[in-house]
Amino acid sequence: MARFTDEDDALLAELGVEIETKKQAARTPREERIIAGFEEIQRFAEEHGRPPQHGEGRDIFERLYAVRLDRLKELEECRSVLEPLDHQDLLGGNVDTGSGSLDDLDDDELLAELGIDMEAAPAITELRYVRSAEEKRAAEEVARRDRCEDFEKFKPLFEKVQRELDSGERQTRDFELKAEIRPGAWFIVGGQKAYVAEMGEVTLTEQGRTDARLRVIFDNGTESNMLMRSLQRALNKDEAGRRITDPIAGPLFSSDREEDDEASGTIYVLRSKSDHPTVSANRDLVHKIGVTNLAVEQRIAGARLQPTFLMADVETVATYQLFNISRTRLENLIHRVFEPAKLDIQIVDRFGRPVVPREWFLVPLFVVDEAVEKIKDGTITAYVYDPESASLKRVPSMAS
């Protein structure tokens, strides 16, 4: 657009036309959210001396940052906003999709990882999303079910799983990875329990993704011969979709380490330095109990920026080394035992959104020590924490 000269301005002024210099537009809320999401990645790189990376063995936050960074590299709109701020050259290089995390997230989830609130972005939500032919076929596969002719053979399994859910031997957890879909696995999808009875040969699609034909039995007596990726999409799309954990039974780890034992992880107990009134009033009782395969120092790095750590620094008050066990199963068990003392607290994250953190409990440290001892001798499944007496109590149905 041509600029006015001083003579032009004078002439326009004589004509009574005012010329107002147009100020540079401020960043849109969408651009601000993109920048905020990138700043979290920059802080991670500063603290660890490298960009976030993919990999099942890495911390979940690092994996999410890696997915977010890959997406930012892909989107030209994001690159144009962020390149002037990229003093660490994080946007340079090729996109590394690692173990396929980008493929396993749909558009809404990817935008959420970028820090973009879909409700606050009308320019996006005004566009109608048209499903691809592949997605339509996947949805049709999930919906298309036949009567299970031999359901009587599976009915006792469904009844047993329900009893184990009622007793706490099994838990329901968010579905996260395609690798969780395997023969013998249980899920909740579309409001029904689903059992993966059979899995065919694993093949590669034209896009280089693994897939396999499944025989999935549902608790209403129907079955579906769907693909693994079809079940994966159905679980991701279903807000109430869950996986059902394996039953917890027997000793989870030995009290004595053998020469050939392999370290599996660490139970950590943290105390928050938050100034939240509830935390301040119960500082010696409010503890976060979790299990990690990382060094605890690495797990809690940047705690003050993460809602799961109450947006505050933490201190480690106890750790217990684990050997030859399933970390996920153990964490599920610990959280079931201390469920009655779960901390009911809501905090605000750095974007002003309310968050309800998990894994925080109002429980004294000596009871956590006692619970670990019962984990070692295999008796913990018969106990639950009683807040009134501040002690572990035997579950009545399991009492001898």
Q: Same domain, yes or no, for 271 and 392?
A: yes
Domain annotation covers residue 256: no
Alpha helix locations (H) across the chain? 6-14, 29-48, 60-74, 76-82, 107-113, 122-125, 133-143, 151-167, 228-237, 277-281, 296-299, 327-337, 365-377
Orientation angle between helical segments 60-74 and 29-48, nearest 10 degrees:
130
Domain annotation covers residue 253: no
Domain annotation covers residue 324: yes
Q: Same domain, yes or no, for 152 and 218?
A: yes
* Domain termination residue (choose one: 56, 91, 125): 125
CA-CA-CA-CA dihedral for 50, 54, 55, 56, to nearest 10: 120
* Domain termination residue (choose one: 72, 102, 125): 125
pLDDT of residue 350: 81
Q: Same domain, yes or no, for 330 and 388?
A: yes
Nearest in space to 393 (alpha carbons), one of 330, 337, 343, 333: 337
pLDDT of residue 150: 92
Tokens 């068990």, located at residue: 333
30 near 121, Cβ under 8 Å? yes
127 burial via Cβ count (<10 Å: 0-12, 13-18, 19+): exposed
Residues, the chain: 400
Domain annotation covers residue 340: yes
Domain annotation covers residue 254: no
Cα separations in angstroms, 324 against 251, 263, 380: 11, 6, 18
pLDDT of residue 261: 45
* DSSP secondary structure code for residue 292 in this structure: E
Q: Same domain, yes or no, for 144 and 80?
A: no
d(CA 132, CA 398): 52
Q: Same domain, yes or no, for 225 and 275?
A: no
**Residue 109: other Cβ atoms inside 10 A:** 13
pLDDT of residue 99: 44
Q: Same domain, yes or no, for 54 and 149?
A: no
Domain annotation covers residue 10: no
380 near 362, Cβ under 8 Å? no
d(CA 26, CA 81): 12
Q: Same domain, yes or no, for 137 and 220?
A: yes
Q: What is the phi-psi region of residue 324: left when phi exceeds 0, alpha when psi lies from -120 to 50, beta otherwise?
A: left
Range of the structural domain that residue 308 is part of: 263-398
> What are the structure tokens assigned to 95, written together?
């996109």
Q: Same domain, yes or no, for 274 and 365?
A: yes
> What are the structure tokens assigned to 383, written together?
């106990």
Q: Same domain, yes or no, for 222 and 276?
A: no
Residues in the chain with pLDDT values less than 70: 1-26, 93-144, 248-264, 324-326, 396-400
Could you give phi then psi for residue 121, rounded to 5 degrees? -125, 75
Distance, C-alpha 108 to centroid of its chain:
15
Q: What is the DSSP string of 147-210?
A: E-TTHHHHHHHHHHHHHHHHHTSS-EEE---GGG--TT-EEEETTEEEEEEEE---EE-TTS-E
Domain annotation covers residue 384: yes
- Return the SS3 of 56: coil
* Domain termination residue (choose one: 85, 101, 125): 125
> What are the structure tokens assigned to 333, written together?
């068990």
Domain annotation covers residue 296: yes
pLDDT of residue 248: 56
Nearest in space to 200 (alpha carbons), one of 210, 186, 190: 210
Q: Same domain, yes or no, for 114 and 76?
A: yes
> What are the structure tokens assigned to 15, written together?
């004509």
Q: Same domain, yes or no, for 142 and 233?
A: yes
Question: In the chain, how many domains are there?
Answer: 3
Q: Same domain, yes or no, for 378 and 269?
A: yes
